[in-house]
């Protein structure tokens, strides 16, 4: 009875969608309207034994997607982004467990297909049909993350025993419900249920309000596909489904994702899961000039739909800032031997405590030096300045160069770098810079309002050839950092 009801529901939904009138005309006056949805994914009580049973389970999340897409459509949203694994969750231990939840996703570069109008063209495409109808019903671009099941070529020595590959996949539908882009995630994060594509993909799609590149979660930490999309394919915007677990101090979702927008001069639409008990939280609509809207709440149980106007970026603008930080004898006169070492994000940093109301500090590690100049109204809080230069082996490896000013959890030096959401120090002024060996440097500033993370408003920070400059007077500073990625040394 349940499976019959599921089929009837899909058939009615598709029938209604295909008889919609022509979509409204969207007009742009230098802006487009974006939406991202932070989703409290419903996880199934047990692993489905058939595709139809899996579809019935996934409807719990898809119906929530419909609710949010309908709200966005009613407000004239141009594009909406949903999170990674938001349709079926992340509870799968291997490729066989997730198989019933997957569908074959054709390559839109090779075929033209509107699932909502041709739901029977391919077998087993009910989820794609549902999403296509959402896009067509609401006349918007829709970005979702789903699982792709691709049959192996006839002669393929790498083919899994199942006879097909399984990919963590972003799919994009245009206003008419047509499948226009498909991206297979390259950099997997403990995802044994999926395989990496043999040929890494750089996927983008053009709209009447910008060129959008897409990649997924852990991809953002690596050169491919993100950097070629910016440097070679000249994208203006990023759509970013993610299941991002906060990794403070400098890999919080809102902090790191917003820093990408600033560093690479792109709009960045990030949609995360909302499961605070498991550290999944933090979504936003970010621009090169700061955050237009973001959501970070470790106490709320409900998801959140963010909608905001986003400035359209011209593709003729220069993409990378190629910051050359001023660093020389002036900074070296403030060189200090590190007072202690602390573990920050599982790496050993050279650190020094901030013991004065104002000071200038230079710290070095393995030839990489960071400089801090700061002033505060009073000496409040346990703060340290740290430097790291080397391979981060955990969940990598990848090469980092980091300058960071952070709140320590306690007076113990060993607490610097430990997880804390609270801060108590206000800074009248701070400036950080370093002699980075890479142009790929992202700046971020995170404040803490009674344990609630906040981004620093645009007017309170500057990132240019003099480094990262800002002030945190109204709300205590949790951390501020410059994070360099030395891709050639990975």
Bridge partner list, 482: 403, 443
Tokens read off for 353? 């405590």
Phi, psi of 237 (to 5 degrees): -145, 155
User: Strand order in 210-214's β-sheet?
Assistant: 203-207, 210-214, 237-241, 267-271, 283-287, 290-295
pLDDT of residue 329: 84
* pLDDT, mean of residues 53-60: 98
* pLDDT, mean of residues 253-273: 97
Average pLDDT, the chain: 93
CB environment 23-37: b (16+ within 10 A), e (fewer)? beebeeeeebbbbbb
pLDDT of residue 210: 97
pLDDT of residue 4: 58
Listed in sequence order, the residues at least 6 apart from 395 whose beta carbon sits closer than 8 Å to its beta carbon are 189, 190
In 320-438 the beta strands, taken as DSSP E runs, fall at 340-344, 347-353, 358-365, 368-375, 383-392, 398-407, 427-434
* pLDDT, mean of residues 72-99: 96
Three-state SS letters, 157-196: CCCCCCCEEEEEEEEEECCCCCEEEEEECCCCCCCCCCCC
Active-site option among 126, 185, 304, 319: 185
For residues 234 and 265, the answer to whether their CB atoms sit within 8 Å is: no
Phi, psi of 415 (to 5 degrees): -80, -15
Instruction: Tell me, yes or no, if 84 is annotated catalytic.
Output: yes
pLDDT of residue 332: 87
Instruction: Tell me, yes or no, if 366 is annotated catalytic.
Output: no
H helices present in 149-293, as ranges: 226-231, 253-264
Please give the Cα distance from 477 to 375 (Å, whole number): 13
* pLDDT, mean of residues 85-101: 95
For residues 147 and 194, the answer to whether their CB atoms sit within 8 Å is: yes
Q: How far is CA 389 from CA 220, 349, 403, 415, 483, in A?
A: 20, 8, 9, 20, 10
Please give the Cα distance from 191 to 180 (Å, whole number): 26
Task: Count other Cβ atoms within 10 Å, centred on residue 309.
Answer: 16
pLDDT of residue 86: 98
Active-site option among 116, 133, 217, 408: 217
pLDDT of residue 328: 82
Please give the Cα distance from 490 to 479 (Å, whole number): 26
Domains of the chain (ranges; CATH) run 2-311 (3.60.110.10), 329-489 (no CATH)
Listed in sequence order, the residues at least 6 apart from 226 whose beta carbon sits closer than 8 Å to its beta carbon are 213, 215, 219, 220, 238, 260
Q: Which is more confident, 11 or 136?
A: 136
Q: How far is CA 191 from CA 44, 54, 280, in A?
A: 18, 19, 16
Place of tokens 């400059």: 469
pLDDT greater than 50 at residue 473: yes
pLDDT greater than 80 at residue 15: no
Cis upstream peptide for 228 (omega within 30°): no
pLDDT of residue 28: 73
Task: Count other Cβ atoms within 10 Å, centred on residue 417.
Answer: 26
| pLDDT tens figures, 114-155 | 999 999 999 999 999 999 999 999 999 999 999 999 999 878
pLDDT of residue 25: 52
Please give the Cα distance from 416 to 407 (Å, whole number): 7
CB environment 381-395: b (16+ within 10 A), e (fewer)? bbbbbbbbbbebeee
Banded model confidence at residue 21, pLDDT cuts 50, 70, 90? very low
Lowest-pLDDT choice from 10-14, 31-35, 134-138, 333-337: 10-14
Please give the Cα distance from 373 to 87 (Å, whole number): 47
Q: How far is CA 441 from CA 50, 126, 199, 229, 294, in A?
A: 47, 42, 27, 17, 22
Please give the Cα distance from 270 to 72 (Å, whole number): 16
pLDDT of residue 322: 63
* pLDDT, mean of residues 226-232: 95
Place of tokens 């594509």: 197
* pLDDT, mean of residues 330-355: 93
Banded model confidence at residue 207, pLDDT cuts 50, 70, 90? very high
Banded model confidence at residue 318, pLDDT cuts 50, 70, 90? low
* pLDDT, mean of residues 291-300: 96
Banded model confidence at residue 477, pLDDT cuts 50, 70, 90? very high
* pLDDT, mean of residues 452-466: 88
Instruction: Tell me, yes or no, if 126 is annotated catalytic.
Output: no
Residues in the chain: 490
Q: Which of 366, 364, 419, 411 is nearest to 384 (CA)?
A: 411
Burial zone of 278 (CB within 10 Å; 0-12 exposed, 13-18 middle, 19+ buried) = exposed
pLDDT greater than 80 at residue 23: no
Active-site option among 38, 53, 64, 84: 84
Please give the Cα distance from 95 to 171 (Å, whole number): 20
């Amino acid at each position: 009875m349940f499976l019959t009801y599921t089929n009837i529901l899909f058939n009615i939904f598709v029938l209604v969608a295909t008889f919609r009138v022509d979509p409204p005309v969207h007009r742009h006056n230098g802006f487009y309207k974006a939406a991202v949805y932070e989703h409290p994914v419903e996880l199934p009580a047990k692993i489905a034994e058939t595709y139809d049973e899996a579809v019935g389970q996934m409807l719990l999340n898809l119906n929530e997607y419909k609710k949010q897409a309908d709200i966005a459509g009613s407000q004239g949203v141009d594009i909406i982004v949903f999170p990674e694994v938001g349709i079926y969750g992340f509870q799968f231990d291997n490729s066989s467990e997730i198989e019933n939840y997957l569908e074959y996703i054709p390559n839109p570069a090779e075929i033209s297909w509107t699932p909502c109008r041709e739901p029977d063209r391919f077998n087993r495409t009910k989820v794609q049909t549902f999403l296509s109808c959402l896009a067509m019903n609401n006349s918007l671009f829709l970005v979702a993350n789903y699982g792709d099941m691709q049959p192996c070529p006839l002669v393929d020595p790498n083919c899994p025993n199942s006879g097909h590959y399984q990919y963590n996949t972003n799919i994009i539908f245009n206003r008419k419900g047509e499948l226009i882009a498909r991206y297979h995630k390259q950099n997997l994060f403990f995802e044994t249920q999926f395989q990496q594509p043999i040929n890494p993909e750089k996927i983008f799609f053009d709209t009447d309000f910008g060129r959008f590149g897409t990649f997924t979660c852990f991809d953002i930490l690596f050169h491919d596909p993100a950097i070629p999309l910016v440097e070679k394919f000249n994208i203006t915007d990023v759509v970013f489904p993610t299941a991002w677990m906060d990794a403070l101090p400098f890999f919080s979702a809102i902090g790191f994702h917003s820093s990408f927008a600033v560093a690479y001069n792109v709009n960045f639409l990030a949609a995360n899961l909302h499961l605070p008990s498991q550290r999944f939280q933090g979504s936003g609509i970010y621009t090169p000039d700061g955050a237009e809207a973001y959501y970070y709440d470790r106490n709320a149980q409900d998801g959140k739909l963010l909608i905001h106007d986003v400035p359209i970026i011209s593709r003729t603008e220069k993409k990378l800032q190629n910051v050359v930080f001023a660093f020389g004898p002036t900074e070296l006169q403030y060189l200090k031997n590190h007072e202690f070492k602390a573990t920050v994000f599982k790496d050993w940093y050279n650190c020094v405590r901030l013991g004065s109301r104002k000071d200038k500090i230079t710290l070095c590690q393995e030839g990489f030096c960071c400089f801090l100049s700061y002033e505060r109204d009073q000496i409040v809080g346990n703060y340290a300045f740290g430097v790291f230069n080397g391979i981060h082996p955990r969940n990598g490896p990848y090469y980092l160069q980091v300058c960071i000013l952070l709140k320590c959890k306690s007076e113990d030096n060993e607490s610097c770098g430990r997880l804390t959401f609270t801060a108590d120090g206000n800074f009248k002024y701070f400036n950080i810079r370093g002699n980075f060996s890479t142009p790929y440097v992202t700046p971020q500033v995170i404040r803490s309002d009674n344990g609630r993370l906040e981004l620093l408003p645009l007017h309170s920070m500057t990132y240019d050839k003099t480094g990262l400059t800002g002030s945190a007077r109204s709300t205590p500073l949790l951390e501020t950092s410059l994070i360099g990625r030395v891709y050639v040394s990975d």
